[in-house]
Amino acid sequence: MEGEKPDGRLWVPDNPDGSGWAEVDWASAVRGSRYHYRHGEPLAEARAARPPFYEVVTRLESAVLEPHENRYYVPADRLADFLAEIALAGGAETVWHVEPCPVPPLESRLGRG
């Protein structure tokens, strides 16, 4: 099997704690660089440790609109879907950066029916 080690294991971490560095070879935007990995906590524990919300800042560049940034406040459990939506359907709007957000502004209306 591709990627399998001689001893039959699929992956051998660099460090005894299960962390290390690996080559990025699946995305053209960062191909040739390396990413850091580590063993993660069980899913419930990992979910409990992350912030409840994220602030996603996008930048809009368009020939018809003045360049500007938009700030979206996204519940942690919907972050992946939101980022995919922006990436696939955002058009001239691109992800600028993503930051943890413990409490979104009241104006965001998060948590209200």
Q: Where are the domains of the chain?
A: 13-42, 50-108
Q: What pLDDT is stored for residue 82 in this prediction?
A: 97
Q: Give CATH for domain 50-108.
A: 3.10.20
Q: What is the pLDDT of residues 24-41, one digit of tens each?
A: 888 888 988 999 999 899
Burial class (CB in 10 A: 0-12, 13-18, 19+), 49: exposed
Cα(70)–Cα(54) distance, integer angstroms: 13
| Number of other residues whose CB lies within 10 A of the CB of residue 11 | 11
* pTM of the entire predicted model: 0.80
Is the pLDDT confidence value at 93 over 80?
yes
- Confidence at 2, pLDDT banded by 50, 70, 90: very low
Q: What pLDDT is stored for residue 8 in this prediction?
A: 58
Cα(53)–Cα(109) distance, integer angstroms: 13
Is the pLDDT confidence value at 57 over 60?
yes
